[in-house]
């Protein structure tokens, strides 16, 4: 069997059109965008063009984009960068139990320094309850961060309602929209800050952005990095022009092809689910299928260690937890947060279908999984008889 990549929540391949757009900026157009000469102006123009592409795809202003090394830095800048300016108003922060570590650990860092943190649970579908969130907002709450779509179970959060509730209480709202950008329609009117990254939308690794809305009262951010004062002093460091061009092109393509990509990946995801459910007993879906990213599937195959299964299926690239934490072996906190037992979490697999996957690939993956599950289950039946 040829290898099949079904891990598009971890990362995506760079689209050849993105590679082509970036190519000149590694070579002849190598200038520093801050230089006051022809090479610099050429680079600065490419950065401005990328800003315009990103702004058009997200529906924000070009001046609201702060380029970062990725979403980890964007999340950290949103949280750690806003906390000092908010400290006089309060030190209470609200988030959800299924956030990416880039958000949770940044907030825990603030907690270790004396801030108070409310971590909201999710319901059995994997969604934050808006009434619980409203109840958690206090007079001293200064920032709420809830992700737009989850990287493990693909559930889409009611960020429109959450951000509106925050705005009513004068609480800043940040969302990690890494998995949502390019995959679902997004309206960012009541959102204050939004993180995104290129490598989840067929762009290069090492570049992302924090969108900081220009609104009244102004959002005051302190930089995490000090240096040459680039990007209005918010993020010092020479701009990586080729990567920025890649992010711009990836955003433009994701926006123009979103519906077509979503239809394609959802069709394949549904086929994958249909076949696995029909051919494997005791298989359940983790999280709701209603409000979910179109290419995401996360299933629990009772009694089968997901890690053992994926080791056997060397040609199938899927994941047992989120890619960012798969070096660790404890059960996924997102799955535990849904109410799964540790054994069920260890028996769960995440699939992320991408725009270039084919029906033939999905069928080949299903055939292979069904066969291996039978083998692993017959081993464990045999083992338990021996004991």
Where in the sequence numbering do the catalytic residues fall? 324
Show the binding pattern over residues 201-240: x = contacts ligand PLP (CB under 6 A), - = does not.
Answer: -------x--------------------------------
DSSP characters over 257-306: HHHHHHHHHHHHHHHHHHHHHHHSSSEEESS-SSSB-TTEEEEEETT--H
Q: How far is the CB of 203 from ligand PLP (least distance, A)?
A: 10
Count of residues in contact with ligand PLP, rule CB under 6 A? 14
CA angle 327, 333, 339 (to 5 degrees): 145
Give the residue among 98, 184, 157 at the shortest CA–CA distance from 288: 157
- Indicate the residue among 53 and 179 with the shorter CB distance to ligand PLP: 179
Pick one of 43, 60, 78, 147: the residue that binds ligand PLP (CB under 6 A): 147
Show the binding pattern over residues 97-116: x = contacts ligand PLP (CB under 6 A), - = does not.
Answer: ---x-x--------------
Pick one of 323, 364, 370, 376: the residue that binds ligand PLP (CB under 6 A): 323
- Indicate the residue among 98 and 313 with the shorter CB distance to ligand PLP: 98
Please report how many Cα atoms fall inside a 13 Å half-sphere around the Cα of residue 336, on the Cβ side: 10
- Indicate the residue among 118 and 322 with the shorter CB distance to ligand PLP: 322
Q: How far is the CB of 352 from ligand PLP (least distance, A)?
A: 10
Tell me the residue ranges of DSSP E strands in 91-145: 92-96, 116-120, 141-145
Pick one of 197, 320, 332, 333: the residue that binds ligand PLP (CB under 6 A): 197
Q: Which of residues 58-77 bind ligand PLP (CB under 6 A)?
A: 70-72
- Indicate the residue among 159 and 301 with the shorter CB distance to ligand PLP: 159
Q: Which helix (H) or strand (E) holds 176?
A: strand 172-176
151 part of the interface to ligand PLP, by CB under 6 A: yes
Q: Distance between CA 324 and CA 298 in Å, rounded?
A: 16
- Indicate the residue among 71 and 79 with the shorter CB distance to ligand PLP: 71
Interface region with ligand PLP, contact rule CB under 6 A, candidates 79-87, 113-121, 176-184, 336-344: 176-184
Q: How far is the CB of 206 from ligand PLP (least distance, A)?
A: 8
Interface region with ligand PLP, contact rule CB under 6 A, candidates 155-163, 172-180, 242-250, 294-302: 172-180
Report cis status (omega within 30 of 0) of the bond before 14.
Answer: no
- Indicate the residue among 72 and 333 with the shorter CB distance to ligand PLP: 72
- The alpha carbon of 90 is separated from its chain's Cα centroid by a whole number of angstroms, namely 28
Q: Distance between CA 5 and CA 138 in Å, rounded?
A: 45
Q: Distance between CA 302 and CA 297 in Å, rounded?
A: 16
250 part of the interface to ligand PLP, by CB under 6 A: no
Q: How many CB atoms lie within 10 A of CB 315?
A: 12
Q: Distance between CA 107 and CA 103 in Å, rounded?
A: 6
Q: How far is the CB of 150 from ligand PLP (least distance, A)?
A: 7
Contact 11, 200 (CB under 8 A): yes
Which single residue is written with the structure tokens 């270039």? 356
Q: Which residues bind ligand PLP (CB under 6 A)?
A: 70-72, 100, 102, 147, 151, 176, 178-179, 197, 208, 323-324
């Amino acid at each position: 069997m040829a290898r099949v990549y079904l891990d598009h929540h971890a990362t995506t391949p760079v689209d050849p059109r993105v590679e082509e757009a970036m190519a000149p900026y590694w070579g002849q157009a190598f200038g520093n965008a801050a230089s006051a000469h022809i090479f610099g102006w050429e680079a600065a123009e490419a950065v401005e063009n990328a800003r315009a592409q990103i702004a058009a795809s997200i529906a924000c202003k070009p001046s609201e984009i702060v380029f970062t090394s990725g979403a980890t830095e964007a999340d950290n800048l949103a949280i750690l960068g806003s906390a000092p300016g908010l400290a006089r108003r309060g030190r209470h922060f609200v988030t959800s139990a299924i956030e990416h570590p880039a958000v949770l650990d940044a907030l825990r860092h603030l907690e270790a320094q004396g801030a108070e943190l409310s971590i909201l649970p999710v319901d059995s579908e994997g969604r934050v309850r808006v009434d619980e969130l409203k109840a958690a907002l206090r007079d001293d709450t200064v920032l709420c961060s809830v992700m737009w779509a989850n990287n493990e179970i693909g559930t889409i959060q009611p960020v429109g309602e959450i951000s509106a509730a925050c705005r009513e209480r004068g609480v800043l709202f940040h969302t990690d929209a890494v998995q949502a950008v390019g995959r679902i329609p997004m309206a960012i009117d009541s959102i204050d800050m939004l993180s995104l990254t290129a490598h989840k939308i067929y762009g290069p690794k090492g570049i992302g952005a924090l969108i900081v809305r220009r609104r009244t009262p102004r959002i005051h951010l302190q930089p995490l990095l000090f240096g040459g004062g680039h990007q209005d002093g918010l993020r010092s460091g020479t701009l990586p022009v080729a990567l920025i061009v890649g992010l711009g092109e990836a955003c433009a393509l994701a926006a123009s092809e979103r519906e077509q990509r979503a239809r394609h990946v959802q069709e394949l995801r549904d086929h994958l689910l249909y076949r696995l459910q029909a051919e494997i007993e005791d298989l359940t879906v983790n999280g709701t299928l209603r409000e979910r990213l179109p290419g995401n599937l996360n299933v629990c195959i009772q009694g089968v260690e997901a890690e053992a299964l994926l080791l056997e299926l060397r040609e199938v690239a899927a994941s047992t937890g989120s890619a960012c934490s798969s070096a660790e072996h404890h059960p996924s906190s997102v799955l535990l947060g849904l109410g799964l037992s540790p054994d069920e979490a260890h028996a769960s697999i995440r699939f992320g279908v991408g725009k270039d996957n084919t029906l033939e690939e999905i069928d080949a993956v299903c055939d292979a999984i069904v066969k291996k599950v039978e083998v692993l289950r017959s081993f464990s039946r045999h083992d338990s008889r021996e004991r």
